[in-house]
Structure 1
Amino acid sequence: MRTIIIAIALLFLGTAYADRDALVIEALVANGSDISKVHEIDFFLDFDNLKQAAVVAQSMESQGFRVKVYENEDQTVTIEAKRFLIPTLDNIHRVSSTLESLTSKYGGSYDGWGTEIVK
């Protein structure tokens, strides 16, 4: 199920972040997740190189995210950042907006978020 929710987040790349966040939350609810409970949210950010990603990863760690940095076969870099929170639209908007600004500042792109179903 986790893959489905992440795929939904990535499917709406052309959709405004606010709309995309709402669609993912709707998909969580439709798949039986209790969005009043804390979820471990996975946020994804992409960069052209490790230098860009390292600066952002360090900033995110200082903000309480658990961060993993992956070098992809095409030499790009993906950050997977995890944080526990209740996936309300306001909470997700706040984090998404912050991550979009941070990645943009360092030449990356915010790729969305996903989570597992929590009953």
Structure 2
Amino acid sequence: MPTPPELITALSRSADPDALVLLHMAKVGADLRKPHEPDFAFDVPNKESAEALAQDLCQLDYEVQLYEPDDENPEYKVVAMTTMVLDLGVLNQLSSKFESLAEKYGASYDGWGAEVVA
């Protein structure tokens, strides 16, 4: 397993949602010491708010995609992407920041995900 055992042990002791995602990634072969490309997703009720949120995320140096509602997703979806090492402390700070940003636009922060980098 590429992620050091001591990091897996530390993550397994936490009930934090970000820690649980990291633990799952490590268990399926991710090397959490390497950069990954996480995406951070938001559900937004209207186009104006989605565009404003996307603009704010661009100003924070994220690559941003905006998706219109469809049959499966009744709201706009804004996805912010970056490249980073998946550090629990940083992810916790980002989750808090993104929750506040979502609240500003009447949106909801739907969390993050990333492809496994071994």
Please tell me the TM-score bracket, short chain as reference. 0.7 to 0.9
SS of aligned partner of 1:58: helix
Gaps of at least 5 residues in structure 2 are 1-14
> Aligned AA for 2:34?
K
- The number of equivalent residue pairs is 102
Separation in structure 2 between the aligned mates of residue 97 and residue 83 of structure 1, nearest angstrom: 17
Structure 1 runs, 4 residues or longer, greater than 2 Å off: none
User: What displacement does 1:105 show?
Assistant: 1.1
Residue equivalent to 2:95: 96
Equivalent positions of 1:14-29 (< 5 A) are 19-29=16-26
User: What displacement does 1:91 show?
Assistant: 1.3
| 1:49–1:75 contact (8 Å) kept in structure 2 | no
User: What displacement does 1:75 show?
Assistant: 4.7
> Aligned AA for 1:88?
D
Matching residue within 51, 54, 63 for 1:54: 51
Separation in structure 2 between the aligned mates of residue 48 and residue 105 of structure 1, nearest angstrom: 12
| 1:45–1:78 contact (8 Å) kept in structure 2 | yes
Residue equivalent to 2:115: 116
Separation in structure 1 between the aligned mates of residue 93 and residue 82 of structure 2, nearest angstrom: 13
Gaps of at least 5 residues in structure 1 are 1-17
**Residue 70 (structure 1) aligned with residue 67 (structure 2):** yes
TM-score between the two structures when normalised by the length of structure 1: 0.82
1:8-63 superposed Cα distances (whole Å, 9 cap, x missing partner): xxxxxxxxxx7111110000110110001110011100010111111110010010
> Which is higher, the Rg of structure 1 or of structure 2?
2
SS of aligned partner of 1:78: strand
| 1:33–1:117 contact (8 Å) kept in structure 2 | yes
Matching residue within 36, 41, 44 for 1:44: 41
Separation in structure 1 between the aligned mates of residue 74 and residue 29 of structure 2, nearest angstrom: 38
TM-score between the two structures when normalised by the length of structure 2: 0.82
> Aligned AA for 1:72?
P
